[in-house]
Amino acid sequence: MTRRAALLVPLVLTLALVAGCNEKSAPKAAEPPGPVVRTDTGAVSGTVLKDRRVFQGIPYAAPPVGPLRWKPPAPAQPWTGVRPATKPGNRCPQTKNAIADLGSTTEDCLVLNVTTPRTAGPEQRKPVMVWIHGDGAIGSGDQFDPERLVVDGDVVVVTFNFRLGVFGGFGLPEMPGSGTIGLQDQRAALEWVQRNAAAFGGDPGNVTLFGVSYGATSTGAHLLAEKSRGLFHRAILQSAFTVMDMPAGSTYPGIPALPWYGWTTTKDAQTQGQVVANQLGCKDPATALDCLRKVPVAKLLAVPQVMNIFQPYALGNDELPPDPVRALEARQFADVPVIAGTTRDEHTTFVAFFRELAGSPVTKANYPELLRTAFGPAATRIAAQYPLSAYKTPALAWASVLTDRLWAKAQLRQNQLLSAKNPLWFYEFADRDAPLDIPFPPGFDPGAWHAGDVGYVFRTAGENKTMTKPQIALSEKIIGYWSAFAHHGDPNRDGLPSWPKFTGPATVQSLAPDAIAPVDYEREHQLKFWASVG
């Protein structure tokens, strides 16, 4: 059916109601909502499909250009008439890379997308799920099509863009909000949802914030941020690194040990900002910020590693506490139900891209040295616990070490702290044959790779061609869990395998084709061994 035809087909119900001797005319059922919705800044016209409505490229903040570069998001300007919302808006500035061809030099990018069930309207409000995409240097909201999540889960899904890399995490001593501008963009999107969800048939009193990787860590940041309280009511963290530290060389070759994988400090963000300012000829601290606001986007993007350097958000300021672990230990975080988990083989993705494809492969010869660099005197014990003979390749041995030490250890700690206050359901995505949508090296076995679960949540009809029937069934169950959680704050519902609330390492739900059941996470990832290593 064409889009135009879909708009013309009414839903007609004819009922004959007789009460005693009085014949009453049947009330006409309301037609499904049409393509036009009025937001607080103006009307938008989206696309009406058979089972859903899609609105794309809606501004949620003013374009952060000129003097607004590196300022907190300003309100979007109202418009007159009806604004077309039938195609994605601009992606935020970013460079192309091996994973995705998403290059952009356009700063006018603070837009969001809303997908609603066909029946959702002001009188039939659905739960709202707000997605924060992964990676703080690349990505955009329109990469993710929530078709099945919306239709099968009966929820409204919002995806959005936010400032990335140097545009979102930059800092200078004289700059308010140093290292947190992208985080503030995310909050502005949540505030937009509170003001406008009802117009799209969403319930502003039932908002689930969810994300993957960097987006999951951002979700964790909003759990910690007092300014975000009340803007969401549930949270799903898919592979967050909220409390993860980083042994030397564990991600990039040559990188030193760091106390945080996903964060920086305000001081460090400002120091790095001064380095970039000097590189670009803006050396006078009194005028550096104004000078940098005049630098073309392409010139900023050309500074080596500038998008990666400023990915982490800064701690210890008006937005975030100085230490996430201490904040979690003190129970200083939002009181909302949580789903949180990892994939079974998280670090294969990082080994593949930052070593195997980067020309610094893990070999039998350098494996002992990698262990010594990362773990010092404990290297011999770790080599005995993770012998090369137990793995197909040295790269997979190294990936297994870091999956357990970095990801599993940190995830268990994070979830223990969150569950001390909030109801929490812990999962592990364990489909080791998950379809690949990023270019791994030939012959490299990524297993249940980092972010491999995203395609099971954002599954479209087209992806059915690359999934087996058991994988499609797994996707349906994951969508069922996620949407049940959005509806009720608990992933359990009729027709799904029971998922116990997290009470310890043996109550982690493994999500695999034909095999959904609790697994002993501590034993699977050798966490007692890592506790003995320290």
DSSP state letters, 402-417: HIIIIIIHHHHHHHHH
Which pLDDT does position 9 carry in this prediction?
A: 29
Q: How many helices (H) and strands (E) does the chain have?
A: 19, 18
CA distance 221 to 446: 29
Q: Is 347 annotated in the active site?
A: no
The pLDDT assigned to 5 comes to 33
pLDDT of residue 335: 99
Kindly tell me the sign of the dihedral angle through the C-alpha atoms of 525, 531, 532, 534. Answer: positive
Per annotation, catalytic residue among 450, 463, 475, 483: 450
pLDDT at 27: 43
Query: What backbone phi and psi angles, to 5 degrees, belong to 285?
Result: -55, -30
Question: For residue 43, what pLDDT is reported?
Answer: 99
Residues 116, 197 contacting (CB under 8 angstroms): no
pTM of the model: 0.93
Active site residue: 346, 428, 463, 522, which one? 346
Can 450 be counted among the known catalytic residues? Answer: yes
Locate 70 and state its tokens.
């590196």
Contacts of 219 (CB under 8 A, 6+ apart): 132, 209, 210, 211, 235, 236, 237, 240
Residue 110, both tokens:
């603070």
Q: What is the DSSP letter of 29?
A: P
Cβ atoms of residues 237 and 136 within 8 Å: no
Residues of the chain with pLDDT under 70: 1-31, 98-100, 461-465
Q: How far is CA 484 from the centre of its chain?
A: 19
Nearest to 516 by CA among 490, 489, 486, 495: 495
Contact 408, 525 (CB under 8 A): yes
Q: Which of 213, 239, 250, 400 is catalytic?
A: 213
pLDDT at 332: 99
Question: According to the model, what pLDDT value does residue 405 have?
Answer: 98
Phi-psi region for residue 451, left (φ > 0), alpha (ψ -120 to 50) or beta?
left
Phi-psi region of 342 (alpha: psi -120 to 50; beta: other; left: phi over 0): beta
Under CATH, which architecture does the 327-334+341-534 domain have? Answer: 3-Layer(aba) Sandwich (3.40)
Contacts (Cβ under 8 Å, ≥6 apart) of 407: 239, 241, 244, 342, 346, 347
